[in-house]
Structure 1
Amino acid sequence: MPGRRREYDEEDVRVRPGRSSRPRTRTRPLHEDAVEGFVIAVDRGRYTCVLDVGTPQEQPEAVTAMRARELGRKSVVVGDRVSLVGDTSGAPGALARIVRIAERTSVLRRTADDDETTAEGRLERVVVANAEQLVIVSALADPPPRTGFIDRCLVAAYDAGIEPLLCLTKADLAPPDAVLDYYRELDLRHVLCRPDSDLTEVRAALAQRVSVLVGHSGVGKSTLVNRLVPAALRAVGVVSAIGRGRHTSTSAVALRLPHVVRTRDDPGWIVDTPGVRSFGLAHVSADSLLHGFPDLVEGTLACPPNCEHTPAEAECALDAWVTAGNADERRLASYRRLLASRSGDESPEVRRDRELGMP
């Protein structure tokens, strides 16, 4: 009847649950249809991957992907082996999703420079994952070799379980004797590069491996990459009047080496990294620093327990070990500079030399 008031009961009332009361589950999809890929570049939240399909002679298919939310805070870096779902066609505008990251066999890290320090401390950066070889590129002249930087890279390589390879460029300008003599006790593998060399020895050292190249700006790293992979077209810079190179590579990228002869063997991958002025080691423990100085290890056996091996340790046996001619005093000085840089006890002069990679 008109004007009659309607009465409601509980069946007429619909209660919409709040967002916080929705049931949750930790169950994640299995993504059994996911395809395997290899991350070759990272740029502002987009990841360029190649699919693990085809024979080594074929050009790998490039796929652009984003990270799935279910990965949480897990970072994805160049060298990661990942699982992809979605549009993996590689067509323009196609976007896949990275849903899994395989366990890493190695992680090469460096601690960020002092100007990148936050309230929580120095930032730790992952340079590359799953690398098998660290190629330390150093010029023999223009700029001169900086053994302090090489020492840091060696420590980082040994700490990450990666085999080091010293690549000495501009061998037409200066002989390698002084540098090789400095590392004579390490049995460090090395290759020499000249502008007219055919790079046969370098290619043989890189074949069937994932190698990451690091070096100061201006040492000829990008020039070497362009010779190894002509299609890379990495920018090439010049050396300034004070001996510092200009940064030419701006981001890490993995490049597949071309086949010199027709073979089914994988020619390998190289990861070109931006030129750096320092290679921080704050993430490496004091004990692990010795991994980069095997010529000093035996000398520490005579040290007292808990010896920190610093100049302040009156009973440190390393000084006597060097005085007896068992190791180069420059090696001990470099090791102690690394210890000081980890603890923040270095002077401004030492910090300047560290940034320049001086011996």
Structure 2
Amino acid sequence: MARRATASYDERDVKVRPGRGSRPRSKLRPAHANARPGLVTAVDRGRYTCFLDGPPARVVTAMTARELGRKAVVVGDRVGLVGDVSGQPGSLARIVRVEERSTVLRRTADDDDPVERVVVANPEQLLVVTAVADPEPRPRLIDRCLVAAFDAGIKPLLCVTKADLADPSQLLATYAPLDVPTVVTQATDDGGIDPSPVAEHLRDRVTVFVGHSGVGKSTLVNAMVPGAHRATGAVNVVTGRGRHTSTSAVALALPDGGWVIDTPGIRSFGLAHVEPARLILAFPDLAAETADCPRGCVHGADAPECGLDDALAAGRIDGARLDSFRRLLASRDRQAGD
């Protein structure tokens, strides 16, 4: 068997590939000074529906640019867009900038979950929707939504629906000491909701709607925004709970100015991100009486030597308001229930 000749090699036979990164990478990034401002109105599997102010106003579909990295973009974010912002079918713009958020509504899956979830960015109001009957009100869940609003610096508003089925006065009295504005709606003859009591509170504002399933939240949105076509569902006659109909948050423009953000029905509202001692800041009249509290006092009903108890005894604060504040504080430490 013939032996194969041994080949000889030298440096001329070695092919050197141009090195990647041989040019130093610049840390400068495009300023995108001409990026069009827009509002994120919906998010769906990596695609973002954005409303661009005019002229002309239009709706475009976008993706996030690589330079944003893992920065989350949510409904309500104000962003800068480049690329194809024509809004034509098949076009795709790029989100290159997320403006600083003025407010953020957060929640966690439960009170033991350390991971915060941003529900909506930049809301001015939180409309907590609850039915007076069918399904029955869930005061603990309402309390926890109010805690999230107070903590985030968002103005809360309570909307009681289905007042034609039962008297809402007892429920309204529960929240009167908190000075939370309330509106009451009734069903119309065609099965909808009369939106007029709510509309005056929402004009020219960005308002996020929250509430558990079946309370009429999406029905109210449909009444306020013609053509919204948000899915609605009936209440289960066995469990007394509503069926989840909205599956994701969406922002909708109000005909007379402003935006409403409809969110999926919730069954719990985790508050792991809320520091109990920070809640007092949403109640200036009570906060003014805590100067002499011991260090670390969270002002609960069982807090030793709390200055709020001395202020109550001296008649400087309202007892019903203190009780309501402490009820909200206690809701931070227990799961929402029926």
> What range is the shorter-chain TM-score in?
0.7 to 0.9
Aligned-pair CA distance for 1:308:
4.0
Where 1:247 maps in the other structure, the secondary structure is coil
Structure 1 unaligned spans of 5+: 1-6, 260-266, 342-350
Report how many residues are paired. 324
Decide which of 276, 279, 292 is 1:289's aligned counterpart: 279
Decide which of 192, 196, 204 is 2:200's aligned counterpart: 204
Deviation digits for residues 199-219 of structure 1, max 9, x if unmatched? Answer: 223111111111110001111
Q: Distance in 1 between matches of 2:134 and 2:146?
A: 22
- State how 1:28-107 maps to structure 2 within 5 Å: 28-54=29-55, 60-107=57-104
Structure 2 unaligned spans of 5+: 1-8
Aligned-pair CA distance for 1:13:
8.3
* 1:113 maps onto 2:146 in alignment: no
Task: Return 28-37 or 245-254, whichever deviates more.
Answer: 28-37
Q: Distance in 2 between matches of 1:54 and 1:133?
A: 28
Aligned-pair CA distance for 1:164:
1.0
Residue in 2 that maps onto 1:263: none
Residue in 1 that maps onto 2:3: none
Aligned-pair CA distance for 1:290:
3.1
Where 1:232 maps in the other structure, the secondary structure is coil
* 1:338 maps onto 2:338 in alignment: no
Aligned-pair CA distance for 1:69:
0.3
CA contact (8 A) 1:254 1:271 kept: yes
* 1:326 maps onto 2:326 in alignment: no
CA contact (8 A) 1:65 1:95 kept: yes
Aligned-pair CA distance for 1:18:
3.0
* 1:221 maps onto 2:217 in alignment: yes
- State how 1:236-315 maps to structure 2 within 5 Å: 236-240=232-236, 241-259=238-256, 267-291=257-281, 297=287, 303-309=293-299, 313-315=303-305
Q: Distance in 2 between matches of 1:245 and 1:327?
A: 32
Deviation digits for residues 92-123 of structure 1, max 9, x if unmatched? Answer: 11111001111111111111236xx7xxx432
Where 2:320 maps in the other structure, the secondary structure is coil
Where 1:65 maps in the other structure, the secondary structure is strand
Decide which of 116, 120, 126 is 1:124's aligned counterpart: 116
Aligned-pair CA distance for 1:250:
0.3
Q: Distance in 2 between matches of 1:296 and 1:137?
A: 27
Percent identity between matched residues is: 57
Decide which of 223, 227, 233 is 1:231's aligned counterpart: 227
Residue in 2 that maps onto 1:153: 145
Residue in 2 that maps onto 1:194: 186
Q: Distance in 2 between matches of 1:307 and 1:36?
A: 44
CA contact (8 A) 1:299 1:317 kept: yes
Q: Distance in 2 between matches of 1:328 and 1:268?
A: 32
TM-score of the two chains, using structure 2 as the length reference:
0.84
After superposition, the Cα gap between the structure-2 partners of 1:34 and 1:307, relative to the gap in structure 1 and judged at 3 Å, is closer
Q: Distance in 2 between matches of 1:149 and 1:294?
A: 24
CA contact (8 A) 2:271 2:332 kept: no
Amino acid in structure 1 at the alignment position of 2:226: P
Residue in 1 that maps onto 2:6: none
CA contact (8 A) 1:135 1:167 kept: yes
CA contact (8 A) 1:252 1:272 kept: yes
Q: Distance in 1 between matches of 2:28 and 2:134?
A: 58
CA contact (8 A) 2:40 2:49 kept: yes
Where 2:319 maps in the other structure, the secondary structure is coil
Deviation digits for residues 212-268 of structure 1, max 9, x if unmatched? Answer: 100011111011111111311111112122222111100000011124xxxxxxx21
* 1:162 maps onto 2:163 in alignment: no
Q: Distance in 2 between matches of 1:253 and 1:171?
A: 27
CA contact (8 A) 2:110 2:272 kept: no
After superposition, the Cα gap between the structure-2 partners of 1:290 and 1:142, relative to the gap in structure 1 and judged at 3 Å, is farther
Amino acid in structure 2 at the alignment position of 1:28: R
CA contact (8 A) 1:63 1:89 kept: yes
Q: Distance in 2 between matches of 1:99 and 1:162?
A: 27
Residue in 2 that maps onto 1:182: 174
Where 2:222 maps in the other structure, the secondary structure is helix
After superposition, the Cα gap between the structure-2 partners of 1:320 and 1:220, relative to the gap in structure 1 and judged at 3 Å, is farther
TM-score of the two chains, using structure 1 as the length reference:
0.80
Where 2:177 maps in the other structure, the secondary structure is coil
Aligned-pair CA distance for 1:329:
8.5
After superposition, the Cα gap between the structure-2 partners of 1:320 and 1:248, relative to the gap in structure 1 and judged at 3 Å, is farther
Deviation digits for residues 141-183 of structure 1, max 9, x if unmatched? Answer: 1112222112111121122121111111111112221122112
Q: Distance in 1 between matches of 2:281 and 2:242?
A: 29
